[in-house]
Every structure is written in structure tokens, then in C-alpha cells.
């Protein structure tokens, strides 16, 4: 009897081609968009630099030196102009992101222990991180100028002094193999997890339609228990979830480099990825069965399932990487099963972790799946007895 239940489920799935397309196309589009959008977040520079206008009363030698140093960076495109009063016009009509006002004699004033003011103006939508980055760049380069002048006074050959900032090099170290994290490695596991949980929509719709059309009652009338019915829902969608994982990984490896992003690198064990994908799939399907048993209409299931998935994704670091979140939000995100799944995949994809590194997440996801399955079974028994 169980094989006929499975056959029925597979037939229902393949008849709903629109839902299948959504399960594969939607996360693929998100992977492409978010990988390209977050590319600069994980790189050493940005494709489009912020335009900065440096202004002073006159272009003195010190200003020229500062301008040359400020232009040597990966984030800002700095130009000079004599002082102007129309700051709003510079920022909004001339499309500069920053305006810097600095006295032309700032070095001499500092050396004479005079107070100087360096004013930085920006558009109102500028992030505090970029503002602090520019302030740090100004401060460090003024400090370099002061040190250089001091060395000249001490008769030290400044040509032989090193720029230690260029001497400090950063290296990523993973647990097994060393490679750099990229936006693709963040986006692929994030959105494949979202797509696995998004399977809630087709499961709910078919399950509710079966209840409304009396299909479940007819199956029960031939002495089939509820357990095979639920298991029959799990197996087909589990297979689809695994195909989703494979499809998203192939997009990350082969398609993203063609579109200008980095290629997905996987340093973890393939068997471990399969295990993790299986556990995440069972968690997503069990959660979907709970929603399907709570809702009475397809519209209710779509609304409840869609909202719950979006909330879990927002909290779990799917839509916004967790390292961007404040500490309080990172702590709250630990309540989302999508967060457990994402941390596990990143542990394998990015850090080259082993089973020991993800066993806690595996336990949480397995427990979540078991609890959801038990709840859905109880709800199905209660509704069936009415």
C-alpha cells in the first residue's frame, strides 16, 4: 500500500510544474542577485568608489601630498577644489558622497600645537562604517605626513622608510584547507536552505486539497493508518530537496563565475553535505506538515507558511548575513532552525569543518524535525477523529 501512496504523491508533484519551477527558479535568482550584490562586502575593494571632494583655501604642497595619499585606496575617489560654501549643491547636485574641508596650513598648525578642524560632510544615507573608514583614512595619512616631516628634521632618509600598512597582510585559515570566503559561499547555502523550507507551500496545498476532496478519508476507509500517509508526504519532497541542493551548488560552481562572481568552493566532506542536507530537508518537511495540518484552506497555508518562512529567514541570517547584525539580533537568530542549518553549511563550505563541528546543529535540527512530525501526526489524528 505504501508504494501506491508514494506513486500518488509523485504524480501530484509532477502535475504541479509551476510549483516545481518556483522551488528551483526562485532560489536560483536570489543566489545570483545576492551573490553579485554582496560581492564587494567580501572583497578588498568595491567596483564603484565613493566620490569625495577635498576642499581648502588653496592647493598648498601639504594639501597636494594629502590628496595624493588619499587617492591611493580601494574605496574613495578623491578630487580637489578650492573652498566653497554650497555644500548641499556639491553633495546632491554634483553627486559627491563626501565633502572634506581642511585648512591649507593644517600641518604647520599641528606642528605649532594649534587646534585644527577637519570637517567631513556626507549625504544623509551614508553608513557610519563608510564615514569612519574615511575619517580613519584622513587621520592615518595626516599622521604619516607628520612622521615624514619629523624624519626629515632628524635627517633620516624617508625614501627607505616602509609603509607598514602594505606590509601587514591578512590570510584566511580554514580548519582543513585555506581559501577566502566569498559572497557566493554565503549566498548559495543561505538561499538553498530557504528554498528547502519553501517546499512548505506545495506540501500544504496538496495536503489541504486532499483533506477537502475527501482523499484522506477514502484512504483511511481501507484501514490505512495515518503514519504511512505522513511518511508518503516526506519521501517525495525529500528527493526534491536533495535535487534542489545539487542544483544550487552547480549554479554556484559553474554559473556564478560566468556572471562575474567568484566560484563556489566546497572544502567539506561530500558525505557530510549529504547528511546535513537530509537533516535540513526532514526539518523543513516536518515543519511544512505542521502548517498543513493547522491551516484549513490553501490560502491560509500560503499566508501562514510564507510569513513564517520569511521571519525564520530574516532571523536566521538568510536575508541579511549574521555578521552584519548587532549582538542582540545575533542572539535572537539562534532561535531559528534556518540559522542552525546555515551555520552548519557555512561550517562545511567556508571553514572546512567536520562532523564534530556541526553535531550540535544536527542534533537541534533532528530534534526540531521529530517534534514537528509528532505535532503533525497528533493534529492529523485529532482532525481525522472529528
The rounded mean pLDDT for the chain is 79
pLDDT for 1-48, tens place per residue?
556 556 666 666 666 666 677 778 888 888 888 777 777 666 555 556
Tens digits of residue pLDDT in 81-92: 887 768 888 888
Distance of CA 252 to the CA centre of its chain: 14
Residue 178 pLDDT grade (very low, low, confident, very high; cuts 50, 70, 90): very low
The answer to whether residues 242 and 277 touch, using CB atoms and an 8 Å cutoff, is yes
Q: Collapsing DSSP states into helix, strand and coil, what is residue 37?
A: helix
Mean pLDDT (whole number) for 138-161: 68
pLDDT band, residue 385 (cuts 50/70/90): very low
Say which CATH architecture domain 47-167 belongs to.
3-Layer(aba) Sandwich (3.40)
Note the pLDDT of residue 82.
84
Q: Where in the chain is the domain with CATH 3.40.1710.10?
A: 47-167
pLDDT of residue 175: 57
Give the angle 47-48-49 at the CA atoms, nearest 5°.
Answer: 115
Q: Report which of residues 125 and 52 the model is more confident about.
A: 52
- Residue 172, classified by CB atoms within 10 Å of its CB into exposed (0-12), middle (13-18) or buried (19+), is exposed
Amino acid at each position: 500500500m505504501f508504494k501506491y501512496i508514494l506513486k500518488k504523491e509523485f504524480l501530484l508533484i509532477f502535475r504541479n510544474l509551476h510549483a516545481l519551477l518556483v522551488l528551483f527558479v526562485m532560489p536560483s535568482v536570489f543566489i545570483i542577485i545576492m551573490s553579485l550584490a554582496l560581492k564587494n562586502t567580501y572583497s578588498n575593494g568595491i567596483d564603484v568608489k565613493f566620490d569625495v571632494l577635498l576642499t581648502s583655501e588653496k592647493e598648498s604642497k601639504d594639501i597636494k601630498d594629502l590628496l595624493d595619499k588619499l587617492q591611493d585606496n580601494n574605496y574613495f575617489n578623491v578630487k580637489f577644489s578650492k573652498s566653497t560654501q554650497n555644500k548641499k549643491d556639491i553633495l546632491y547636485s554634483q553627486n559627491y558622497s563626501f565633502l572634506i574641508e581642511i585648512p591649507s596650513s593644517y600641518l604647520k598648525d599641528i606642528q605649532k600645537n594649534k587646534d585644527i578642524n577637519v570637517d567631513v560632510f556626507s549625504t544623509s544615507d551614508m553608513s557610519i562604517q563608510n564615514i569612519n573608514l574615511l575619517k580613519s583614512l584622513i587621520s592615518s595619512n595626516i599622521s604619516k605626513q607628520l612622521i615624514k616631516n619629523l624624519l626629515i628634521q632628524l635627517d633620516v632618509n624617508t625614501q627607505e622608510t616602509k609603509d607598514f600598512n602594505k606590509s601587514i597582510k591578512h590570510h584566511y585559515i580554514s580548519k582543513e584547507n585555506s581559501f577566502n570566503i566569498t559572497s557566493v559561499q554565503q549566498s548559495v547555502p543561505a538561499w538553498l536552505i530557504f528554498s528547502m523550507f519553501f517546499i512548505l507551500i506545495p506540501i500544504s496545498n496538496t495536503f489541504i486539497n486532499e483533506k477537502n476532496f475527501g482523499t484522506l478519508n477514502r484512504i483511511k476507509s481501507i484501514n490505512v493508518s495515518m503514519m504511512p500517509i505522513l511518511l508518503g508526504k516526506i519521501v517525495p519532497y525529500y528527493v526534491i530537496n536533495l535535487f534542489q541542493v545539487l542544483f544550487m551548488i552547480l549554479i554556484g560552481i559553474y554559473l556564478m563565475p560566468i556572471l562575474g562572481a567568484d566560484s563556489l568552493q566546497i572544502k567539506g566532506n561530500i558525505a557530510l553535505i549529504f547528511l546535513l542536507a537530509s537533516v535540513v530537508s526532514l526539518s523543513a518537511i516536518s515543519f511544512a506538515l505542521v502548517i498543513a495540518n493547522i491551516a484549513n484552506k490553501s490560502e491560509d497555508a500560503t499566508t501562514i507558511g510564507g510569513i513564517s518562512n520569511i521571519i525564520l529567514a530574516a532571523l536566521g541570517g538568510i536575508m541579511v548575513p549574521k555578521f552584519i547584525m548587532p549582538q542582540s539580533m545575533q542572539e535572537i537568530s539562534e532561535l531559528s532552525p534556518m540559522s542552525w542549518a546555515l551555520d552548519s553549511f557555512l561550517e562545511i563550505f567556508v571553514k572546512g569543518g567536520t562532523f564534530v563541528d556541526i553535531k550540535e546543529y544536527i542534533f537541534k535540527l533532528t530534534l526540531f524535525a521529530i517534534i514537528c512530525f509528532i505535532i503533525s501526526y497528533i493534529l492529523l489524528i485529532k482532525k481525522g477523529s472529528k
